[in-house]
């Protein structure tokens, strides 16, 4: 058997779920259409045959899906529900914010909520309204919730495995536009990527670029276009955030551009700028730039490309920051 296999992100999700279900009989999967149909993006295809009695189709009701998970987790199981699109997780936000995130503190450590909510998110697939939102900042604002966003197949498997094994609730957001965008070698068998640790995708000394999810590829392309020597930091975990990786890089480069596809106001870029100001202000050679979505609902597909940050917009911000 080889020590790696070439997978897409959607296949890495499936492999992580399968291997964790083999390893731990307490792990179970449920959600709308995840069983017989294999999920809206086919991420759970085949699991119902491989793990009879542990993969269940649920009624269409996101609040109920999350609420059921809290109850299952409180009894010692490890539920991995799927919400078909992140926009519909708002229906379960009350359950997440009022109950799942507080179970440990409310019970003074007696109970925890080892639940991983998988949800595709983001634009770029020409979907209908309510299918392209990027709300990581809202979930990151809830104490007690971890928020994870992979950008590669290998990280998808490793981070999802870590999330399932985490004793507390995790919102695992999967970038829809990357599900089948590319393949890469993914370790077979045990592969865990620690939550809360960023990855450095490129190294350089003129600029720091911070991104996550589908924006990592756009940011890397932008760096290539400009020829600027840059650190490209893939945050991977939005909460808890690897602040040290950002600060150490900015202390080295003196310049930073933060990229995300969510709306600009009160987005995670604003939090990152605040942390850089707190811990590396005297090292800055230029204002920190933000390249983000706009403060409007994600438009229908005819205008979607104009909304999403792309490598050209990022490259312009990089050149402006380096030339300041």
Residues acting as catalytic residues: 131
Question: What is the distance between the alpha carbons of residues 61 and 57, in angstroms, rounded to a whole number?
Answer: 11
**Tokens read off for 140:** 């990151």
Specify whether the CB–CB gap between 156 and 16 falls below 8 A: yes
Sequence-distant contacts of 248-251: CB under 8 A, at least 24 apart: 249/200, 249/208, 250/208, 250/276, 250/280, 250/283, 250/284, 251/280, 251/283
d(CA 321, CA 323): 5
CA dihedral 64, 67, 72, 76 (to 10 degrees): 160
Give the C-alpha separation, 60 to 323, whole Å: 52
The backbone torsions φ and ψ at residue 4, rounded to the nearest 5 degrees and listed phi first, read -155, 160
């Amino acid at each position: 058997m080889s020590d790696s296999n070439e997978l897409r992100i959607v296949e890495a999700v499936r492999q992580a779920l399968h291997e964790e279900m083999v390893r731990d009989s307490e792990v179970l999967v449920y959600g709308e259409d995840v069983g017989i149909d294999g999920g809206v993006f086919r991420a759970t295809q085949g699991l119902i045959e491989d793990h009879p009695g542990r993969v269940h189709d649920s009624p269409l009701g996101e609040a109920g899906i999350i609420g059921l998970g809290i109850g299952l987790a409180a009894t010692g199981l490890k539920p991995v529900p799927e919400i078909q699109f992140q926009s519909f997780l708002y229906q379960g936000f009350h359950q997440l914010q009022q109950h799942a995130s507080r179970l440990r503190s409310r019970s003074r450590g007696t109970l925890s909520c080892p639940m991983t909510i998988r949800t595709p998110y983001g634009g770029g697939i020409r979907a209908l309204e309510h299918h392209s939102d990027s709300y990581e900042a809202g979930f990151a604002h809830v104490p007690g919730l971890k928020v994870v966003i992979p950008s590669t197949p290998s990280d998808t498997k490793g981070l999802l495995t870590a999330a399932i094994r985490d004793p507390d609730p995790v919102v695992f957001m999967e970038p829809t536009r990357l599900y089948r965008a590319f393949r890469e070698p993914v370790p077979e068998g045990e592969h865990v990527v620690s939550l809360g640790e960023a990855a450095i995708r490129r190294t350089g000394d003129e600029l720091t670029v911070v991104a996550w999810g589908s924006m990592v590829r756009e940011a890397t392309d932008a760096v290539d276009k400009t020829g600027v020597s840059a650190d490209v930091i893939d945050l991977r975990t939005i909460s808890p955030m690897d602040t040290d990786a950002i600060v150490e890089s900015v202390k080295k480069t003196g310049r930073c551009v933060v990229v995300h596809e969510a709306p600009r106001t009160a987005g995670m870029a604003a939090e990152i700028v605040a942390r850089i100001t707190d811990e590396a202000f005297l090292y800055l050679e230029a204002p920190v730039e933000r390249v983000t979505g706009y403060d409007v609902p994600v438009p229908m597909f005819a205008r979607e490309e104009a909304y999403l940050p792309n490598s050209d917009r990022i490259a312009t911000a990089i050149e402006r920051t380096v030339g300041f």
